[in-house]
A and B are shown apart, each in its own frame.
Chain A
């Protein structure tokens, strides 16, 4: 975890990585996979950020109650991240099941690209150049596979990709961290979505 000074504030490297990765995900998705991201992506993003940020009021209720403006300075932390992740997952599943939206297979692609980008940026920010290069190579591999598979991503293939990324993460850190668990959670969502998709066909 590295601290960066941007103007008058100190931010954590992971925040910068998240932001940059999100922007690049949109670019890569459009340019490499030649598809445009639906509204679901920006909705998901907005919901996640709002819940994560304002869950501070929930998890530090007493402090919030004594000084409501403090919610502007802080966020819900890890607990807020999980709360936001679960709620956002529910929204995505709900949307996929109810509206018969074609976001099913897409979610997994987008999340994969986003996560690989996030790790790449984070490695660069933390000056972990070796891992950054490896992640970049893997990302390239993922993009090639996704491009080749077009809309025919299978659970198996994604399982293989998931394992490779997990391997990289295992070497860098232990797998019992929030980051890896989050990766696992959203990959699980992706698996579920793929399974639903293949049953619908």
Chain B
């Protein structure tokens, strides 16, 4: 049998294997099952020597109580059972402004699927509630905007730069942290991380 024919047969056999694997049932997302199978509050932080930290730390999200722009008072724990993107922002921060339209668009798509966005404004470091109000109006934000007037929430969450966002799953565990602006794709990736 010539080398050419051998290769051709090899190709056909492997192609059959590919077809069988892809078109038979039970195509679960194996990677996610293997990685997240361990207990959710396992604190195994891995940090390489170059300072790049893989976020395998899973903390329970600290609760807080803040007023919204509408004057209501809400607690984070009120949202237990939903997947929450907790976002910290300020009006003087350009990337925060850049991500808002993406967040609004994302929210419109997913709000009926058990997803919530809580945008905590660092009011103690911002230029007044009026500015936050006009900002929310200008961007047509329909998700809750919370006012951290005393800076306690920012403190609890160790906010150093903005925007910073936390993905909190239905049981109140922080499953991922994002520093910097998010677009819709990133938020969808975050949501996947909150899936069990």
Chain B residues near A166 (CB, 8 Å)? Answer: 14, 18
Please tell me which stretch of A2-10, A35-43, A135-143 contacts chain B, meaning at least 4 of its Cβ atoms lie within 8 angstroms of it. A2-10
Q: Which of chain A's residues 97-137 have a Cβ closer than 8 Å to chain B? A: 125-128
Number of interface residues of A (CB under 8 A): 41
B35 touching A69, Cβ below 8 Å: no
- Encoded as 1 (CB less than 8 Å from any A CB) or 0, chain B from 94 to 106 comes to 1101110110000
Known pairs A156-B7, A160-B14, A174-B22; A5 contacts B185 (CB<8 A) = no
Please tell me which stretch of A45-53, A72-80, A88-96, A191-199 contacts chain B, meaning at least 4 of its Cβ atoms lie within 8 angstroms of it. A72-80
Q: Which of B11, B18, B52, B189 contacts A5 (CB 8 A)?
A: B52
A167 touching B180, Cβ below 8 Å: no
- Distance A128 CA – B177 CA, assembled complex (angstroms): 21
- Distance A77 CA – B183 CA, assembled complex (angstroms): 9
B31 touching A171, Cβ below 8 Å: no
Chain B residues near A69 (CB, 8 Å)? Answer: 94, 98
A160 touching B10, Cβ below 8 Å: yes
Q: Which of chain B's residues 27-82 have a Cβ closer than 8 Å to chain A? A: 27, 29-31, 34-35, 51-55
Chain A residues near B14 (CB, 8 Å)? Answer: 160, 163-164, 166-167
- Encoded as 1 (CB less than 8 Å from any B CB) or 0, chain A from 148 to 175 comes to 0000000011011001101100111111
Which residue on chain A has the smallest CB distance to residue B46?
A: A127
Q: Which of chain B's residues 123-168 have a Cβ closer than 8 Å to chain A? A: 161
Q: How large is the interface on B (under 10, 10 to 19, 20 to 34, 35 or more residues)?
A: 35 or more
Q: Which of A159, A170, A175 contacts B11 (CB 8 A)?
A: A159
- Report the number of A-B residue pairs with Cβ-Cβ less than 8 Å: 101
- Distance A157 CA – B8 CA, assembled complex (angstroms): 9
Q: Which of A73, A127, A159, A171 contacts B35 (CB 8 A)?
A: A127
Chain A residues near B186 (CB, 8 Å)? Answer: 12
Which residue on chain A has the smallest CB distance to residue B15?
A: A163
Interface centre among A3, A166, A173 (most CB of B within 10 A): A3
Chain B residues near A6 (CB, 8 Å)? Answer: 51-52
B interface residue numbers (CB < 8 A to A): 4, 7-8, 10-11, 14-15, 17-18, 21-22, 27, 29-31, 34-35, 51-55, 94-95, 97-99, 101-102, 161, 176-181, 183, 185-186, 189, 192-193
- List 5 A–B pairs whose Cβ atoms lie within 8 Å, in order of A's numbering: A12-B186, A70-B98, A156-B8, A167-B21, A174-B27
